[in-house]
Amino acid sequence: MRYNKLLLPLLVSIPLLAPVLLKGQPQQEERTLQNATLQQCIDYALKNQPEVRQSLIDEEIGERDINSALSGWLPQITGTGSYNYNIKQQTIAFGDQIVTTGQKHTSVLGGQATQQILNAGLIQASQSAKWYRLQYKQYTENSRIYTVVDVSKAFYDILTSNEQLTITNENIARLEKQLKDAYAQYEGGIVDKTDYKRAQISLSNANADKKRIVEMLKSKYANLKQLMGYPAEKTLDLSFDNTSMESAVLLDTTQQLNYQNRIEYRLLETQRKLQSLNTGYNKLSFLPTLSGFINYNFNYFNNDFGSLYDRYFPNSVTGLTLSLPIFTGTRRIQEIRKSQLQERRIDLDLENTKNQIFTQYETALASYKANLNDWKTAKQNVELSRDVYNTIKLQYNEGIKTYLELMTAETDLRTSQVNYLNALYSLLSSKLDVQQALGTITF
């Protein structure tokens, strides 16, 4: 019966304790991705990328620093203890008599509590706490923005290389068929060996291109893994949707530039506010420091050490302590002037950052518009070169066109396809640059 009474409260407390216990355990993120889209790669990076995680740790460290600074407002309690052995006791003259005072062994055990009432440093800590919290969060936001941009560009780069690999495989298939046809014609005595020799050269070059693309893809996947914080030894499978990629290239180029959207500008504004508070703190240093205290001591003294702690004589005192700095040279004035100069310097940083943001935006927008035109042109050229190749292929099969003309058409088709992919990648990258310049990157 006794055990049943103990078991019931334990069972009831388990659901209450479970969330606390689970919260204390480190969360294990999914460490592998299958057929990952761009958004899934970004989400993974925002949870696992080391720099982002470091920023989150910095937020926690900053919170501890803030709490440590503000803890000065709480009562400060200290305990003390001392023991003295008076080798030679003090003597005092009373008229014609010489009296030895004190005891051989003395000891004091006590405690004191102090409470700050007026303190310039604690006032400054209270005023700046929210701004420091904001600054740490802004650092994290800045890290996340760069992570989104870098992961997106790396993803687009792999997409482009994969498409180039597909085009190269298609080109190899065409060249293999052309080689067979050219060799058959040579065997039939229709043409000399020049055509199929050229076909062999083209096929070898195409296989070399394929090998180069495959090897480069390995390094590009490694780069993406590093940017995501993805385990290098794990396989990363990506899912590409070319249609959605092409539909994502368009951007509203009429958006107005707002400096407040840029995290770099807002970080400087936060630093400006903190510097202003620092100037205020230096001005507050002219104020006195006021604190209250109370202590309680147990005094022990006896000529016999063994009986020292048999009896104690308590005493206690409470009061206020006022400290007024009257003259400290010119240190406080110099600190105020220095802080004001630092404010002016940050104002110039804000002005310079505005100019940099404007230049960055104009450059990114001009690059986007140029790449958009290149992409549209490249898309048209792919259709035109494909039509030309199909036409010349039919004419070559009928003996109207030469093999050299067919090779030229095939080269033009492959070149236009590669140019289209490069234009698409450049366009997607420049769009990200414009969004970053506008401060509209979302995550």
pLDDT of residue 91: 86
Task: Return the residue matching tokens 């701004």.
Answer: 131
Q: How many CA atoms lie within 13 A of 226 on its CB side?
A: 7
Distances (CA, A) of 381 to 386, 398, 412, 416: 8, 26, 9, 6
Task: Return the residue matching tokens 């506010």.
Answer: 273
Is the per-residue pLDDT at 101 higher than 90? Answer: no
**DSSP-assigned beta bridge partners for residue 302:** 105
Q: What is the pTM of this model?
A: 0.82
Region of poorest pLDDT, from 125-129, 131-135, 245-249, 250-254: 245-249
Element at 320 (helix H, strand E): strand 313-323
Percent of the chain clearing pLDDT 90 (strictly above) = 70
Contacts of 365 (CB under 8 A, 6+ apart): 253, 434, 437
Q: What is the DSSP string of 105-130?
A: EEEEEEEEEEEEEE-HHHHHHHHHHH
pLDDT of residue 178: 84
pLDDT, tens digit (0-9, with 9 covering 90-100), for 376-392 = 999 999 999 999 999 99
Segment 115-143 mean pLDDT: 95
The Cα–Cα gap between 422 and 110 comes to 79
pLDDT of residue 31: 64
More confident: 338 or 181? 338
Region of poorest pLDDT, from 237-246, 293-302, 390-399: 237-246
In the structure, what pLDDT confidence band is assigned to residue 198 with cuts at 50, 70 and 90? confident
pLDDT, tens digit (0-9, with 9 covering 90-100), for 321-354 = 999 988 888 888 999 999 999 999 999 999 999 9
**Burial class, 158, CB count within 10 angstroms (exposed 0-12 / middle 13-18 / buried 19+):** buried
In the structure, what pLDDT confidence band is assigned to residue 30 with cuts at 50, 70 and 90? low
First to last CA, the chain: 58
- Indicate the residue type of 147: T
- Strand 33-36 to 236-238 pairing: parallel
Segment 361-379 mean pLDDT: 96
Task: Return the residue matching tokens 């990200």.
Answer: 432
pLDDT of residue 260: 95
Is the per-residue pLDDT at 16 higher than 80? Answer: no
Is the per-residue pLDDT at 11 higher than 60? Answer: no
The count of residues in the chain is 443
Please give, one letter per residue, the 3-state secondary structure of 132-161.
HHHHHHHHHHHHHHHHHHHHHHHHHHHHHH
CA angle 363, 369, 374 (to 5 degrees): 120
The tokens for 302 are 């006896």
Q: Between 50-70 and 120-187, two packed helices, what is the crossing angle to 10 degrees?
A: 180
In the structure, what pLDDT confidence band is assigned to residue 75 with cuts at 50, 70 and 90? very high
Q: Is the Cα dihedral 61, 65, 70, 75 positive or negative?
A: positive
Long-range contacts at 193-199 (CB < 8 A, ≥ 24 apart): 194/403, 195/403, 198/403, 198/404, 198/407, 199/175, 199/403, 199/407
Segment 146-166 mean pLDDT: 94
The Cα–Cα gap between 347 and 355 comes to 13
- Strand 236-238 to 91-94 pairing: unpaired
Segment 298-307 mean pLDDT: 93
Is the per-residue pLDDT at 303 higher than 70? Answer: yes
Q: Contact at 8 Å (CB) between 385 and 408? A: no
Domain segments of the chain: what residues?
31-79+117-291+329-438
Segment 191-212 mean pLDDT: 87
Is the per-residue pLDDT at 3 higher than 60? Answer: no
In the structure, what pLDDT confidence band is assigned to residue 18 with cuts at 50, 70 and 90? very low
pLDDT, tens digit (0-9, with 9 covering 90-100), for 220-261 = 999 999 999 999 999 999 987 767 677 788 898 999 999 999
The Cα–Cα gap between 147 and 191 comes to 58
The Cα–Cα gap between 136 and 21 comes to 28
- How many C-beta neighbours within 10 Å does residue 19 have? 9
Q: Contact at 8 Å (CB) between 112 and 293? A: yes
Segment 116-130 mean pLDDT: 94
Is the per-residue pLDDT at 135 higher than 90? Answer: yes
What is the chain's mean pLDDT, rounded? 89
Q: Contact at 8 Å (CB) between 44 and 33? A: yes
Which CATH code is given to the segment(s) 31-79+117-291+329-438? Answer: 1.20.1600.10
Q: Contact at 8 Å (CB) between 161 and 220? A: yes
Task: Return the residue matching tokens 């005595």.
Answer: 189
Is the per-residue pLDDT at 9 higher than 90? Answer: no
